[in-house]
């Protein structure tokens, strides 16, 4: 029993399926509740030595208040020197590294950051708007961290060096991993 009117319906179904699949990378509804981290998309987003996975994101998953990343830095790699007007919490899962933190944001530029060694099973908080940078200072082991930020998507100001004035830091928005889904559907406010 093959009726001619079925053909357009079949074609329409295929078109809808294709559209859904193409959009699924940035779809805030199209993901399972429990997801296998090993199977999630990861990329360096153009930054050498980085592996970034957005575990719970504003643009991909519709998170409103916090965003959670799993980041792995190969030996010698690091974040840019940067600041953002949100809270940030790190949990070091593996490896060792150095946090550089310039707490005195009243000066014109960050200058002389304090150095803090960070290590597996350590945690630290970066206060709102403090310029900071995290390095993997180990020769051989990766540095892996869970990173939680408030007020996503993050608006990052990047410094070329520690003596760059705060006012000259360059806004990078959307941030590297937010670029792909930035123009996707507008979400409701809470
Ligand atoms: C999670 O994904 C990895 C890599 O694809 C796979 O080897 C592993 O079996 C998965 N775990 C479960 C519980 O499905
Ligand atoms: C981290 O510290 C907690 C509290 O002491 C401990 O229960 C846990 O096993 C530690 N984890 C690792 C990976 O060492």
CB 74 within 8 A of CB 136: yes
Q: Is residue 86 part of a domain?
A: yes
Q: Is residue 101 part of a domain?
A: yes
**pTM, full prediction:** 0.84
Q: Is residue 172 part of a domain?
A: yes
Binding residues for Zn(2+): 82, 84, 88, 132
CA–CA distance, 92 with 168 (Å, rounded to integer)? 31
Q: Is residue 56 part of a domain?
A: yes
Q: Which domain holds residue 142?
A: 41-178
CA–CA distance, 23 with 102 (Å, rounded to integer)? 41
Q: Is residue 103 part of a domain?
A: yes
- The total domain count for the chain is 1
Binding residues: 82, 84, 88, 132
| pLDDT in 10s for each residue of the chain, 190 residues | 456 666 666 665 565 554 444 445 677 778 899 999 999 999 999 999 999 999 999 999 999 999 999 999 999 999 999 999 999 999 999 999 999 999 876 789 998 899 999 999 999 999 999 999 999 999 999 999 999 999 999 999 999 999 999 999 999 999 999 998 988 655 556 6
The closest residue, in CA terms, to atom 3 on ligand 1 is 38
> Which ligand gives the minimal distance to the CA of 41?
1
Q: Is residue 28 part of a domain?
A: no
Query: 168-184 burial, b for 16+ CB within 10 Å, e for fewer?
Result: ebeebebbbbbebbeee
């Amino acid at each position: 029993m093959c009726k001619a009117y079925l053909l357009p319906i079949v074609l329409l179904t295929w078109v809808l399926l294709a559209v859904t699949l193409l959009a699924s990378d940035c779809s805030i509804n199209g993901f399972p509740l429990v997801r296998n981290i090993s199977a999630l998309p990861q990329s360096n987003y153009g930054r050498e030595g980085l592996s970034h996975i957005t575990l719970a994101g504003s643009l991909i998953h519709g998170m409103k208040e916090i965003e959670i990343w799993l980041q792995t830095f190969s030996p010698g790699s690091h974040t840019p020197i940067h600041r953002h007007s949100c809270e940030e919490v790190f949990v070091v899962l593996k490896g060792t590294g150095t946090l550089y933190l310039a707490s005195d944001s009243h000066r014109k530029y960050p200058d002389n950051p304090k150095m803090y060694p960070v290590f597996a099973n350590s945690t630290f908080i970066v206060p709102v708007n403090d310029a900071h940078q995290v390095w993997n200072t180990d020769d051989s082991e990766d540095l892996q961290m869970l990173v939680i930020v408030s007020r996503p998507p993050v608006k990052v100001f990047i410094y070329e060096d520690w003596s760059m004035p705060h006012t000259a830091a360059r806004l990078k928005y959307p941030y590297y991993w937010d670029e792909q889904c930035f123009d996707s559907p507008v979400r409701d406010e809470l």
